[in-house]
């Protein structure tokens, strides 16, 4: 097919433009590579993207990539509306839902989510391999370790879970976090981050329905969206101006921690990221452990 899309972005270029500087017809952003521990300017055309990333045999004619493109177009209207007006009240219910769909999709569509699936299956396989298994189950476990299976599983999750996740996000507490400091919000190859201060033990505390859950998605270098547990954070305002630099440092630290490899900013100073990598070397390992199975 002549119109076959080769380079497929798992973080949209229209989004990355808000963390870049335009030079003639190109958009350049500063990129920190966790693996190399170095930063450099890059064209957004070539980052957070891989060859045929969403292509699987079950869904032909690149339907996944094209469907994501249509979703991005719907979201872009609400996205630009928020940026222009600097508040959430301008969104209609339909626009807010499209925004929720985008956040849910953006969290699942990345290389980082694929690595999380791989980590989960690897750990489960190790645990089960200690038991006496049937030949059929051994065969299934072997198949589950292949890139083909992991890629297909990610696509299935993407196709089937977005409506439910978006519905949950829609009902949560939304807060626009306006950055009034001289530091910039960073984004990354996995922009949507979760955080929770409430320890729920072996049950886990990162689900969207977990008490105290916080979800963050930077929108520009000076605007970020926070989506919170609607009960614990019910008294939060819909718009909050941040003047304390440590709050920006905290949100940027989530980007470094949650990204697969690359962090992006309009600024060149990645000293925080370099310090984090020095203190926690595992953060630069693409094959690091991402979850704990009890």
Per-residue pLDDT reduced to its tens digit, 55-83: 998 888 899 998 898 888 888 889 999 99
Dist. CA 283–CA 294, nearest whole Å: 22
> Residue 196 gets which letter from DSSP?
-
Q: What is the mean pLDDT of the chain?
A: 93
Looking only at Cα atoms, what is the longest distance across the chain? 63
- What does DSSP say about strands 7-9 and 49-51: parallel, antiparallel, or unpaired? antiparallel
Predicted pLDDT of residue 171: 98
Return all residues near 96 (Cβ < 8 A) that are at least 6 apart: 78, 88, 170, 174
| Nearest C-alpha neighbor of 108 from the set 153, 164, 158 | 158
**% the chain with pLDDT above 90:** 79
SS3 state of residue 16: helix
**Tens digit of pLDDT for each residue in 20-58?**
999 988 999 999 999 999 999 999 999 999 999 999 988
φ and ψ at 236, to 5 degrees?
A: -65, 145
Residue 279: count of CB within 10 angstroms of its CB: 8
Are 218 and 187 within 8 A, CB to CB? yes
Predicted pLDDT of residue 2: 58
Predicted pLDDT of residue 5: 87
pLDDT of residue 3 exceeding 80, the answer is no
pLDDT of residue 1 exceeding 60, the answer is no
Chain-centroid distance of CA 253 in Å reads 14
> Which two tokens mark 5?
């899309």
Predicted pLDDT of residue 49: 96
């Amino acid at each position: 097919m002549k119109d076959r899309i080769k380079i497929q972005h798992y973080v949209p270029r229209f989004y990355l433009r808000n963390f870049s500087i335009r030079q003639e017809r190109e958009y350049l952003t500063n990129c920190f590579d966790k693996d190399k521990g170095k930063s450099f300017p890059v064209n957004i055309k070539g980052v957070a993207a891989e060859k045929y990333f969403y292509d699987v045999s079950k869904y032909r004619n690149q339907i996944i990539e094209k469907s994501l493109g249509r979703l991005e177009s719907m979201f872009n209207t609400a996205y630009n509306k928020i940026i222009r007006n600097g508040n959430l009240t301008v969104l209609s219910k339909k626009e807010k839902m499209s925004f929720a769909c985008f956040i849910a999709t953006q969290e699942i569509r990345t290389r980082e989510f694929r690595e999380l699936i791989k980590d989960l299956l690897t750990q489960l396989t190790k645990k089960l391999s200690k038991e006496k298994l049937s030949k059929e189950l051994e065969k299934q476990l072997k198949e589950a370790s292949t890139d083909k299976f992991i890629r297909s599983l990610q696509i299935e999750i993407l196709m089937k879970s977005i409506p439910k996740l978006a519905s949950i996000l829609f009902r949560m507490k939304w807060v626009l976090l306006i950055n009034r400091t001289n530091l910039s919000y960073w984004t990354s190859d996995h922009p949507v981050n979760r955080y929770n201060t409430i320890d729920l033990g072996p049950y886990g505390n990162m689900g969207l329905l977990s008490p105290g859950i916080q979800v963050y998605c930077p929108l520009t270098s000076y605007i970020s969206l926070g989506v919170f547990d609607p009960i614990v954070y019910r008294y939060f305002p819909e718009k909050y101006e941040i003047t304390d630099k440590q709050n920006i440092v905290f949100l940027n630290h989530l980007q470094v921690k949650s990204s697969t490899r690359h962090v992006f900013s309009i600024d060149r100073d990645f000293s925080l990221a370099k310090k984090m990598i020095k203190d926690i070397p595992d953060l630069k390992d693409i094959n690091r452990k991402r979850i704990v199975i009890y």
